[in-house]
Each structure stands twice: as C-alpha cells, then as structure tokens.
C-alpha cells in the first residue's frame, strides 16, 4: 500500500513541477519494409485519431540506414477538419538530430491532442535527395494503442502543407512519426486513486 501511495506522490510532484512523470513514447515503431524515395516537391504522411488526451513533444522522420538525412525536411502536425497546423519543426541534414529506433526527432512546441479528432502528421521534401520512407510492407510495425491509424496520404505542394487530405493512397507513408506523453490530467487521476486507496487502507 505504501508503495502505491509513494508512486502517486511522485506523479503529483512531477505534475506540480511541470515535468512529465513518464518517458516520451513513439506513436509507431517499425523495422523496415519496401523503401521509396521522397519525391520533390511533395508532402507525405498519415492520418490518425487520438484515443486519449496526450501531449505531443517532438516530431520525427524515418532515417533509412541510420546514417543521417541527405537534406533537411520540415515536419508538421495538423488538425484534419480545419487544416490547422498545430506544431512543426525541421529535421536537419546529417546526423544532428537524435536517432531513436530508426527515427530522427526534433523538439517542437508542445500540443495537446484530444480523443475523437482526426489528425495528420506529414513531412515535406523540397528537392531531389537520397532519403527514403517505408512505402509498403512495413516489417515489425507496432502502432501505439494511444492512437488509431486511419490511412496514408500525400500531395504535391511548394512547401510544408497538410498531405492530401483529398489525395489518399493504399500504400503506407511511414516517414513521419511523433513522440508524446500522457496529458497531465491523467497523473492527477492516478494521484486521486492512490489517495483513495490510502483512505480505504
């Protein structure tokens, strides 16, 4: 019982200090698949729904051979219905950005996603390059249960823009990715549960 209460207290302390009590989690992970070049100028990505509130902390992009990006690629996260760009960043050329499980990530302005809303994550390629995305047959694909994958999407544009949404494809476009932490309200609920157990004990 004391262990449960202690964990809840730590969660509360992290909440009060504005620090997440849980490590950032990737929306997807995969081992590879059929690769395709990132044609230019194009935007590629995928549509999804959040299954609970979460805070997106970083955006990422697949690094085919873990050897760095050939060119820089802007990445963004949009609300689908309004087309609003919620947050964005730039994956740098080379190996500047940290590599985590074959994706390079860049910190972005945090944004809270809510259940029942459709979102799109995508990236832009502005010139010819040697970078590739997973186009079909993704291997060891794991989609985090916090989200529901809907479909891949793409479109041509002169700069970073929401890919599609009217132009969709049956091929996957696993290039972009994101990391998130549970919304702090979840930590408050966890603390409340711990206090309730203490009273009952």
What pLDDT, on a 0 to 100 scale, did the predictor assign at position 168?
75
Residue among 37, 64, 45, 65 nearest 177 (CA): 45
Average pLDDT over residues 111-117: 96
Name residues whose C-beta falls within 8 Å of residue 57's C-beta, 6 or more positions apart in sequence: 24, 107, 108, 110, 179, 180, 181
pLDDT over 50 at 61, yes or no: yes
pLDDT over 80 at 188, yes or no: no
pTM of the model: 0.82
pLDDT band (50, 70, 90) for residue 39: confident
What pLDDT, on a 0 to 100 scale, did the predictor assign at position 201?
53
Contact 116, 51 (CB under 8 A): no
% of the chain beyond a pLDDT of 90: 73
| C-alpha to C-alpha distance for 111 and 16, rounded to whole angstroms | 19
Q: Which residue carries 């085919």 as its tokens?
A: 64
Average pLDDT over residues 101-119: 97
What pLDDT, on a 0 to 100 scale, did the predictor assign at position 184?
66
Taking the C-alpha atoms of 181, 186, 192 and 194 in order, what is their torsion angle to the nearest 10 degrees?
Answer: -40
pLDDT band (50, 70, 90) for residue 74: very high
Find the range with the poorest average confidence among 11-20, 24-33, 132-141, 192-201: 11-20
pLDDT band (50, 70, 90) for residue 21: very low
| C-alpha to C-alpha distance for 76 and 117, rounded to whole angstroms | 16
Mean pLDDT of the chain: 85
């Amino acid at each position: 019982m004391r262990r449960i209460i202690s964990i809840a207290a730590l969660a509360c302390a992290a909440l009060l200090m504005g620090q997440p009590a849980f490590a950032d989690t990737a929306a997807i992970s995969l081992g590879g698949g059929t690769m395709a070049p990132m044609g230019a100028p194009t935007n590629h990505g995928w549509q999804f729904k959040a299954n609970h509130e979460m805070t997106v902390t970083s955006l990422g992009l697949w690094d085919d051979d873990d050897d760095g990006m050939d060119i820089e690629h802007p990445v963004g996260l949009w609300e689908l219905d309004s087309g609003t760009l919620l947050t964005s960043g730039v994956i740098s050329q080379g190996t500047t950005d940290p590599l985590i499980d074959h994706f390079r990530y860049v910190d972005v302005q945090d944004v809270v996603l809510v259940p029942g809303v459709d979102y799109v994550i995508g990236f832009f390629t502005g010139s010819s390059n040697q970078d590739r995305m997973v186009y079909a047959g993704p291997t060891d694909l794991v989609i985090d249960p916090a989200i529901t994958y809907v479909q891949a999407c793409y479109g041509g544009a002169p700069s970073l823009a929401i890919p599609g949404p009217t132009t969709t494809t049956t091929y996957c476009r696993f290039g972009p990715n994101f990391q998130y932490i549970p919304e702090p309200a979840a930590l408050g609920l966890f603390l409340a549960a711990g206090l309730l157990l203490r009273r009952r004990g």
